[in-house]
Amino acid sequence: MTRSISIQQEARKGMVVSGMAWQIREARLPDDADDLARLYVGSALHHVELDPGMYRVPEVRVVADRFRAAAHDAGQVVLMADAAGLAVGFAAVTMLTPPSPASMLADMPAASVEVAVHPDRRRQGIGSALMQAVAERARSLGARCIRLDAHADNEAALGLYHRLGYRPTGILMQASVDEV
């Protein structure tokens, strides 16, 4: 528990958060875009293994362009886990568009988070540190809650999210139109 408090306090101060041979810092965009894109594509490969009907592997170039665009988006923050100059993880937080007045969804300022950690660096506290640091950034952007998507078979990610206090609030269901 001490580590969680320490990470939150350091993130509030805008300091670099570090662990064993890595540190969490704000991504330097556009410079870090290619490294972040490779991490994202690596995560996509993992997700395709989980469910090839739902996921695909985008081109690194296209993903890098998306990260470059984040540099100009005041509603988005990208953090990076850096190990001696190598990108080993990232977390991106984006403020969500408020629901329309015609929506049944509560009008609560919310942010969306996506996170990826290099497979060789998982289970070292990087994902937890990224998620806690990005929660502070979401709070500073005005969010009162954070939403994320996780595949039902991604047990490691679900375990992390549950440990950090995330709870299921809905179920995304999918069926082929030919099967319904």
CATH number at residue 111: 3.40.630.30
Label residue 132 by pLDDT band (50, 70, 90): very high
Residue range 106-116: average pLDDT? 95
Q: What Cα–Cα distance (Å) separates residue 114 from each residue in 150, 173, 178?
A: 9, 20, 31
Structural domains in the chain (count): 1
Tell whether 173 is covered by a domain: no
Residue 175, domain member (yes or no): no
Is pLDDT at 4 greater than 60 in this prediction?
Answer: no
Q: What would the mean pLDDT of 135-151 be, rounded to a whole number?
A: 94
Q: How far is CA 142 from the centre of its chain?
A: 17
User: How far is the CA of 43 from the CAs of 12, 104, 107, 137, in angstroms?
Assistant: 28, 33, 31, 22
Boundaries of domain holding 17: 2-163
- Mean pLDDT in residue range 105-126: 94
178: in domain: no
Which pTM was predicted?
A: 0.82
Residue 53 lies inside a defined structural domain of this protein: yes
The residues facing 24 across adjacent strands are 17, 81
Please say if the pLDDT value at position 180 is more than 60: yes
- pLDDT band at residue 12 using 50, 70 and 90 as cut-offs: very low
Residue 76 lies in a domain: yes
Q: How much is the mean pLDDT over the chain?
A: 88
pLDDT band at 17 (very low <50, low <70, confident <90, very high): low
- Compute the distance between CA of residue 129 and CA of residue 134 in angstroms, rounded to an integer: 8
| Backbone φ, ψ for residue 149 (5° rounding) | -105, 140
